[in-house]
Amino acid sequence: MTDERPLIELERKIAGGDFQSAGDVSSELKRILQQVGFPPPFSRRVVIAAYEAEMNVVIHAWRGIFRAWIFPNRVHIEVDDEGPGIPDLELAFQEGYSTAPPHIREMGFGAGYGLSNMKKCSDRLEIDTRVGEGTKVIMDFFLNPS
């Protein structure tokens, strides 16, 4: 990390179980990225990963904080939640594996593609999780990945 200053910093609370507002933070981020003028394919992959991270908090956690730092050439996102944590990360990364309950799956959530979508869309993904405490997701997106 350099000491460059971000153009915009965004910090929003996410409420666990609040499916009505779910996706609002990612929508706000999308508008900001469009206003900054990032190319649509770049904004798109940031927003997909942000949406999956946001939804994971809504589906699985009690509450969380979404933070984004938007720089001219990159975006850094941290999503920190208080929740059950992920007991087996390797399993959680498997496409189609999910611990979401049936009523959530019926809504089309929790299909087990969240983490793999985040991995595909980001240039760097780090997950720090403690069972019974919570999970922190850190993602970086570079406009020109080297």
Partner 1 sequence: MQPLEATVLAPGNMEEEIQGGYCGDLLSDCIANAVEGSVWVTVQSHPNVIAVATLVGIPCVVVVNNYEVDEETLARARNEGITVLRTPLSAFEAVSRLAALGVPGKKRRG
Residue partners of 39: CB distance under 8 A and separation at least 6: 143
Q: How far is the CB of 21 from partner 1 (least distance, A)?
A: 8
Q: How far is the CB of 17 from partner 1 (least distance, A)?
A: 13
Q: How far is the CB of 22 from partner 1 (least distance, A)?
A: 5
**Of 5 and 103, which CB lies nearer to partner 1 in the complex structure?**
103
Residue 49: both structure tokens together: 């990963």
**Site residues, partner 1 (CB under 8 A):** 19-20, 22-24, 26-27, 30, 40, 47-48, 51-52, 55, 107-109, 111, 113-114, 117, 120
Residue partners of 81: CB distance under 8 A and separation at least 6: 14, 16, 56, 57, 60, 61, 62, 63, 64, 65, 134, 135, 136
Max intra-chain CA distance, the chain: 46
Q: How far is the CB of 1 from partner 1 (least distance, A)?
A: 27
**Of 29 and 127, which CB lies nearer to partner 1 in the complex structure?**
29
